[in-house]
Every structure is written in structure tokens, then in C-alpha cells.
Structure 1
């Protein structure tokens, strides 16, 4: 009798857990973070140092059956240090953009505490650029849109989130094909769910 009762309780718990995993969930929140980026070029046109920028925006998450899709939209300021390989001229470059990642992921955990794995494309729409040295490149040659791939890990504690991600630019930022340039960036972000 005890074995039958224990089996029935385990069976009911398993069904309840499975149904909870199949119910769709929705979250909406705000986020901010720091980005550590550099600008890579093919050949030896210039060298790039890592500089710190920031991100600020919104995120949403729609999940079902242990998987989720997480679209985001945030304003980003990405910076890099530039030093020409010929001559001693150096300075900073800043890209300001509206970034829209579309992340696919899974969450591992129970209740309000969990860990996430996420990856997906990121689309950037340039807002403004700034360059402190004139002969690295001409900003009129920079494209207004670019694409990259982003991936990382995250943790949820109740309504709070924290993320560590790596973004790798896929698009050549410079319209001049002889000077292929791509951004690479690590980001650390924090957020809070408001819904």
C-alpha cells in the first residue's frame, strides 16, 4: 500500500512538473551593462586596444518547455583604442548604435533561481560615430547597419538577472573592402523584470 501511494504521489508530481514546463511564460524588463570592445582589421593597418563602453535598454523573454526566445533592444556605446602601425598617431573610436539581439536559449533551475545559456544574431543600427584621429579611416565609409553573433551565460534570481556575453562582428563595418574592420566585445549586464 505504501509503495502504491508513493508511486501515485511521484506520478502526480511528475505530471504537475511537466505541465508547468509546457505552460508559456512571459517576462519584460530593463537592463544595463558594460561592454569591453576592440576593433579588428585584416592586415596591419592599425592596432586596437580594448576600451569600455555601455548598454542600456529593454529585454523580453517568452518561454515554453524549458526553452525561450529573448529579444532585446538597447542603446550601445562601443569604444576602441586605435594606433596606426605606420607612425605614432593614436586615438579612440566610438560607435553609438541601436542593437537588437534575438537570443535563443534554455534555462536550468527551479523556481526563482536558474541559469541560462543563450545565443543568436545581433543587428546593429548606427546612430553616430566619433573618431579622435583623422587618418585611420573616414566615417563616411562606415556602414549604417551591421550583423554579429552573440552568445553567453546568465543567471536569474527572482526578478534580477545577470549576463556574461561575447559578441563577434560578422559584417565588415567599413564600406571600403580593402580595409575590413569588425568589432569584438565582451559584455557584463544586469537587469530586472518589471512584468
Structure 2
């Protein structure tokens, strides 16, 4: 009798655990991040130094069976240092201000309130005003208003708090001049809080 009761309890616990893994989960939160950006230039017009910018916005996460989709929406200020290799302009810093929308796919490993995530996906950027703010009088208004890239990274959840380390690799040539293939490269480290 005891063995039958123990077997029944174990079976109920196992079924409950497996169904919990199949039930969808939903989270919604806020995030902030520091971004360390550079601008690659295959035309060798300039060298780019890494500068620090920021991100502020919202994130959501829908998960089922150990996998999740995490769309985000945030304002981003990406700064780069410019050092010309030719006498075409003055050295200085450029700032790309945009509204970014990444859609990340990932999985989470962990138990209870602590878990570790691996995520990757595309990011779509929409320039705030279609221009680049530059610290000198150089004409930098020939930049595209939209661009795409890819993001990948790791993260951790500790109860309602999140920490992320990501790398963003631009896929779109930002310059409308096809002679200069310029793309953003950026590392970010961010923190977030889930209020749902």
C-alpha cells in the first residue's frame, strides 16, 4: 500500500512538472544598458574608437517548453570616435540616436527564481531624425534612416532582476554612399526589472 501511494505521488508530481513546462509564461519589464560602440569602415576613410552610449526601454518575454521569444523596444544612443586617415574631415565623435526593436529567440536553464539564458535574433533600428550628430562641422547627413543587425548574448535572471551581456553586429551599410561600407559594432551590458 505504501509503495502504491508513493508511486502515485511521484507520478502526480512528474505530470504536474511536465505540464508546468508546457504552460506558457509571460514577463514584461524595463531595462537600461551601457553600449560600447565602434563604426567599421571598409572604405578606410577613417578609424573608429570605441565610445560609450546607452539604451533605455521595455522588454517582454513569452516562453513555453523551455524556449522563449523576447521582443524589446528601446531608445539607443550609440557613440563612436572618428579619426580620419585622409584629409577629408576633422576628427571627433559621432552619435547615432535611434529607436531599436530586437526580437530575440532563446532558452533558459535554471530552477526556481534563478536561471541563465542564451539569446540571439535580429534588431531593427529607426534613426531618431535621420541624421548623425557630429562634434565638428563635417557633413554627416547622408546616412540611412533604417538599418538591421543581429544580436547575440547571454543573460541571468535572479527573481525579478535581469542582467545581460550582448554583442550587436550591423548588417546594413549605414552610409548612402556605396563606396563607404560602414556598420555599427557594439557590446552592451544591461540590467532590467520585470514588473509582470
TM-score greater than 0.5 by the shorter chain = yes
SS of the residue corresponding to residue 19 of structure 2 reads helix
**Structure-2 residue corresponding to 1:157:** 158
Match of 1:125 in 2: 126
CA deviation digits over 1:114-138, x for unaligned, max 9?
Answer: 0111100000000142112344xx3
The TM-score normalised by the length of structure 2 is 0.93
Aligned to 2:176: 175
Return the alpha-carbon distance in structure 2 between the equivalents of residues 2 and 84 of structure 1. 80
- Output the TM-score relative to the length of structure 1: 0.93
Structure 1 residues 30-57: Cα deviation after superposition (integer angstroms, max 9, x where no partner): 0001000000010321000000000000
* Deviations 1:87-128 (CA, angstroms, capped at 9, x unpaired): 494100000000000001111111111011110000000014
Check if 1:110 corresponds to 2:89.
no
Note the 1:33-112 alignment, pairs <5 A.
33-87=33-87, 89-112=90-113
SS of 1:141's partner is coil
Alignment check: 8 A CA contact 2:166 2:188 kept: yes
Within 1, Cα distance between the matches of 2:161 and 2:68? 17
Once the 2 structures are TM-superposed, how far is the Cα of residue 83 of structure 1 from its aligned partner? 0.2
**1:39-85 per-position Cα deviation (integer Å, ceiling 9, x unaligned):** 00103210000000000000000111111100000000000000001
Could you tell me how far apart the structure 2 residues matched to 1:161 and 1:187 are?
A: 14
CA distance in 1, matches of 2:50, 2:69: 30
Segment of structure 1 superposing worse, 24-33 or 123-132: 123-132
Shift of 1:194: 0.9
Q: How far, CA to CA, are the matches of 2:123 and 2:25 in structure 1?
A: 23
Partners in 1 of 2:186 and 2:160 — Cα distance? 26
- Residues in 1 aligned to 2:7 and 2:45: alpha-carbon distance in whole angstroms: 69
Q: Does the 8 A contact of 2:43 with 2:179 survive in 1?
A: no
User: Helix, strand or coil: the match of 2:17?
Assistant: helix
Q: CA RMSD in A?
A: 1.6
Aligned length: 193
Where structure 2 has 5 or more consecutive residues not aligned to the other structure, the ranges are none
Could you list the runs of 5+ residues in structure 1 that have no partner in the other structure? none
- Deviation for aligned residue 1:4: 4.9
SS of equivalent residue, structure 2 residue 128: strand
